Copies of this chain bind each other. A is one copy, B any other.
Amino acid sequence: MFVRKNQAALFLSALATFAMPNFSFADQAQAIDTGSTCWMLISTALVLLMIPGLAMFYGGLVRTKNVLGTMMHSFVCLAVIGVLWVVCGYALTFGSSILGGFVGWNPDYFFLKGIDDRITNGIPEYIIAMFQGKFAIITPALISGALAERVYFRGYIMFVALWFLLVYCPLCHWIWSPDGWLFKMGVIDLAGGLVIHVSAGVSALTVALFLGARKGYPKMIAQPNNLVMTLMGAGLLWVGWFGFNAGSTLSSGLDTARALTMTQISAASGALTWLVIEAIAFRKATALGFASGILAGLVAITPAAAVVKPLGALALGAFSSVICYYALKVKMILKYDDTLDCFGIHGVGSGMGVLVLSFFIRESWMVKTSETVGYTWTAWDQLFVQLKGMGATILLSVVMTLGICYLVQKTLGFRINEEAEVLGLDQALHGERGYDFT
């Protein structure tokens, strides 16, 4: 339970609500809280649902000839990271610090050997490990939005594997592991504003710049092959996000309800805001804009869901859509090809959330923290902490991602050859066609 919230926050919520798991046995270490366990089981399923959701969201936005290849960019993470996580991922992230705290390690976590009957806070550790694993799976998949329609599949697989080991694992350890240095510093990041979205967004931008634009971009007009599927995907992502954020409280209590509530509010607020912006700009309201607004709201609230209140959630969702909308405008000026706007939405929107949440924190939380630190803790103090976290995240992401890009390009090859790009990934790399309606 300590994994995802800094201790002050946790402590407080406990005080406020007695929300300790209700054990049925004296021996707490062993007792199961069937309710919290159930919520972690289902949260794991909900985050899993986000992978097809993301594949549909991204897959609908590319040209028909690349639809399968783009969906596979999301799906393949289920296999590659899914296996790596069991082998060493959980150990590297949630083991105790090694290499001066760069990553963690715990022999018991190697192949999940030693947790077969371990129970923590009433929840079997297996399910915690699986839940955390889903986050490791979806993060590299997010990046695929930036390199869509122009990479070798083999190169992509090598990229996500290395990125997981060299960016995700360290970052996750720093921010979510009880002995991570950013965790100890008190960085607030409930469900991965930094660990997931800023890291993915910044890396996405790096990859996009490294690879260069697709043939014909930006003259080539966008031809989303299936906006209908993109809308479906946005719907599934919203549903899955409830598990993503509310599951991150690792319990089924008041904080969980708060996290789900703020997630719902911010997503609605983000979607509404984007709608209004487009209505003003074009006197039209696009489905893609609406879906983008949903995402903007969701990524913005991700770090903040357990500390802000409804007004804060409304504000974060709205801000996020405004800032993301203009980030996309800037992209069109700078003409870099972040194809599906992973940076423009996940990086920018969630980055904003990570910082701005400082000004919407529940009073009681601030009071509590002040007690802990022994002086009046202000939003500015928190903002400073958040800024440090963001700095570290950006630095790690950019440096490592660049290195990996060069390595992949030199070895398996990353950027696809022109002929295959023209032909399309589906035919050239997968030997299939997405649709055959004849």
Chain B, Cβ-Cβ closest to A263: B130
Looking at A34, A123, A154, A236, which has the most chain B CB atoms within 10 Å of its CB? A34
Chain B, Cβ-Cβ closest to A117: B16
CA distance A32 to B72 in the complex (A): 42
Copies in the complex: 3
A119 within 8 A of B: yes
A25-50 interface (Cβ within 8 A of B): 25, 27, 30-39, 41-42, 44-46, 48-49
CA distance A267 to B438 in the complex (A): 33
CA distance A68 to B253 in the complex (A): 38
Number of interface residues of A (CB under 8 A): 120
A283-320 interface (Cβ within 8 A of B): 284-288, 290, 293-294, 309-311, 314
A225-245 interface (Cβ within 8 A of B): 225-229, 231-232, 234-236, 238-239, 242-243
Out of B82, B224, B231, which one reaches A75, CB within 8 Å? Answer: B231
Out of B256, B430, B435, which one reaches A286, CB within 8 Å? Answer: B430
Out of B32, B51, B257, B430, which one reaches A124, CB within 8 Å? Answer: B257
Interface 9-mer from A52-60, A184-192, A341-349: A52-60
With a cutoff of 8 Å between Cβ atoms, the chain B residues found around residue A126 in the complex are 254, 257-258, 260-261
CA distance A239 to B314 in the complex (A): 29
CA distance A38 to B224 in the complex (A): 38
With a cutoff of 8 Å between Cβ atoms, the chain B residues found around residue A434 in the complex are 226-228
Please tell me if the beta carbons of A64 and B438 are within 8 angstroms of each other in the complex: yes
A154 to chain B minimum Cβ distance, whole angstroms, is: 7
A126-179 interface (Cβ within 8 A of B): 126-127, 129-130, 133, 153-154
With a cutoff of 8 Å between Cβ atoms, the chain B residues found around residue A284 in the complex are 429-431
Out of B32, B48, B83, B113, which one reaches A22, CB within 8 Å? Answer: B32
With a cutoff of 8 Å between Cβ atoms, the chain B residues found around residue A362 in the complex are 116
A372 within 8 A of B: no
Nearest first, the 4 A-B pairs at minimum CB distance are A34-B35, A22-B24, A52-B235, A82-B268
A211 to chain B minimum Cβ distance, whole angstroms, is: 20
Interface 9-mer from A95-103, A271-279, A332-340, A375-383: A271-279
A436 within 8 A of B: yes
Please tell me if the beta carbons of A51 and B83 are within 8 angstroms of each other in the complex: no
With a cutoff of 8 Å between Cβ atoms, the chain B residues found around residue A6 in the complex are none
A251 within 8 A of B: yes
With a cutoff of 8 Å between Cβ atoms, the chain B residues found around residue A314 in the complex are 83, 86
Chain B, Cβ-Cβ closest to A30: B18
